[in-house]
Amino acid sequence: MTAGVGALGDAPRAGGGAAGGAATAGGGAAGTGAAGGMAAGGGATLAWFHCFAGIAGDMAFGSLVDAGADLDEVLSLLGRIPVSGWSVEPEAVLRNGIAATHLAVRCQESAIVRTHAHIQGLLAEARLPERVLERTLAVFARLAEVEGRLHRRPAAQAHFHEVGGLDAIVDIVGTCAALEVLGVEVVRASAVATGTGMVRTAHGLLPNPPPAVVELLRGAPTYGVDVPVELTTPTGAALLSALGSGWGPLPAMTIGATGFGAGSRLLEHLPNLTQVVIGTATSEPTVDPAAGQPAIELAANLDDVTGEVLGHAVAALLAAGAVDAWVTPIVMKKGRPGHTLTALADPALAAQVARVIMAETGTLGLRSRRVERWLADRALESVQVDGMAVRVKVGPGRVKAEHDDAVVVAARTGAPLREVARRAEDAWRSEPDPGDAS
């Protein structure tokens, strides 16, 4: 893949600079990319964003390119925007052993602060395909609505600082154009991870997640990760808020492609990635609903790694999307002590989980087998312990505190971990049943 440069000046003209040559007046034809024919079976073409490490504009854009959206075609559409001074530089990277695409958007320094009305004017001049224009306008409209509400001014007068910069415009239009190139009709997303601490913005230091992200994700399933990094940005949240039609786990679909978009930061315990899965929606489950949930069990026998490496590998596998991971002591040939590292993964994520096992342990091979998981109904609720939230997992006849939340409370209060967990579970049991209300 090559870099593309936005070559247009202040006035629009027939073509703009793009990777592989100048864009023509007609630009790239929508829906002719790698997944353009995916909906031929009668189902809609879906894009499901897996936001286990949050989402940002460049990560969403990069994931779609990694999944097969032709970058030259996307850049030919981006080249229609009547602004200059930008380029997109793709890079193949690894994040915690997972191969991904990082799209670096380079822009000339500018003091311009664009309003919603200004951006609407730019997009009106760009002659984008109808659905690309509609999606892009919807994203900026959501941003304007939220910015206006937060700063108490009409949406049309909302000032876009970071999200009005050239890089954010390229990320948003590029994501919408990549969806079109892939022929995506429906966008859905998982629960969205957010970071903690403070972030520096044009308005100064703000809490993380920023107020705009919290507003944009109103009504969406979210959860915090104890990482002092802005995992989800306003641009990423706006893309999901404006384009998404639903939230939850991987929807029923026939998978055609998947890709990972990388953020620029390297995180110690979390792959800084957004995943997208592209496929055709299926109206009925592909497995008997009375059967268990399909899964892939991956395992490797190891006799040359330390306990510290094994512990880190388990954490890396869970961060990469494994449903579970564990280590079993074994005795290998010639009486050598060893360990079996095992991971359980959704079939859609099995390949990336296998890559993590090999990268983290250095094993020369592993094995897999198809299994079924039988899951009891459960719900995740939240209680207060010493004024701090602790999630509890509630199932038939039992309740269990989430370990990570209990650890945080124990560390801050000095109370024993088991005592915090017991208090959280007792707090849930003591809450009145909503069904008992008269």
- Tell me whether residue 171 is in a domain: yes
> 400 and 298, same structural domain?
no
What is the band of 162 on the pLDDT scale with cuts at 50, 70, 90?
very low
> 91 and 121, same structural domain?
yes
Q: How far apart are CA 180 and CA 64, in angstroms?
A: 10
Strands of the sheet with 398-401, listed across from one edge:
379-385, 388-395, 398-401
Which range of 17-26, 38-47, 103-112, 268-277 scores highest in mean pLDDT? It is 268-277
- Tell me whether residue 229 is in a domain: yes
Tell me the mean pLDDT in the region 177-203.
90
pLDDT value of residue 65: 98
pLDDT in tens, 205-248: 889 898 999 999 998 999 999 999 999 999 999 999 999 998 98
Tell me the mean pLDDT in the region 185-205.
86
> 126 and 88, same structural domain?
yes
What is the band of 386 on the pLDDT scale with cuts at 50, 70, 90?
very high
The total number of residues shown for the chain amounts to: 438
Q: How far is CA 143 from CA 6, 175, 219, 319, 436, in A?
A: 24, 16, 16, 30, 41
Is the pLDDT score of 367 beyond 80?
yes
> 302 and 155, same structural domain?
no
Question: Given 338, 357, 373, which residue is the final one in a domain?
Answer: 373
What is the band of 85 on the pLDDT scale with cuts at 50, 70, 90?
confident
Write b or e for each residue in 151-188: b if 16 or more Cβ atoms lie within 10 A of its Cβ, otherwise e.
eeeebeebbbebbbbbbbbbbbbbbbbbbbbbbbbbbb
Q: How far is CA 325 from CA 139, 191, 316, 318, 319, in A?
A: 38, 21, 9, 7, 10
- Tell me whether residue 288 is in a domain: no
| Residue 204 β-bridge partners | 201
Percent above pLDDT 90 for the chain: 58
More confident residue, 45 or 373: 45
Tell me the mean pLDDT in the region 392-403.
88
> 260 and 394, same structural domain?
no
Averaged pLDDT score across all residues of the chain? 83
> 320 and 214, same structural domain?
no
- Tell me whether residue 28 is in a domain: no
> 47 and 169, same structural domain?
yes
- Tell me whether residue 269 is in a domain: yes
Provide the pairing of β-strand 273-281 with 337-345.
unpaired
| Residue 6 β-bridge partners | 86
> 325 and 272, same structural domain?
no
Q: How far apart are CA 428 and CA 308, in angstroms?
A: 36
pLDDT value of residue 111: 57
> 195 and 76, same structural domain?
yes
> 333 and 303, same structural domain?
yes
pLDDT value of residue 397: 79
CB of 175 closer than 8 Å to CB of 239: yes
What is the band of 287 on the pLDDT scale with cuts at 50, 70, 90?
very low
How many domains does one find in the chain? 3
CATH number for position 360: 3.30.70.1380
Question: Given 281, 303, 324, which residue is the final one in a domain?
Answer: 281
Strand blocks (E) in 27-109: 45-50, 84-95, 98-107
pLDDT value of residue 202: 61
Tell me the mean pLDDT in the region 160-167.
58
- Tell me whether residue 300 is in a domain: yes
pTM: 0.58
pLDDT value of residue 157: 54
pLDDT value of residue 110: 64
> 110 and 83, same structural domain?
yes
- Tell me whether residue 309 is in a domain: yes
> 385 and 369, same structural domain?
no
- Tell me whether residue 16 is in a domain: no
pLDDT value of residue 129: 95
Q: How far apart are CA 280 and CA 267, in angstroms?
A: 33
Residue 401 one-letter amino acid: A
Question: Given 373, 389, 417, which residue is the final one in a domain?
Answer: 373
Q: Domain of 320?
A: 293-373
Is the pLDDT score of 433 beyond 80?
no
pLDDT in tens, 13-63: 223 333 333 332 233 333 333 333 333 334 899 999 999 999 999 999 999
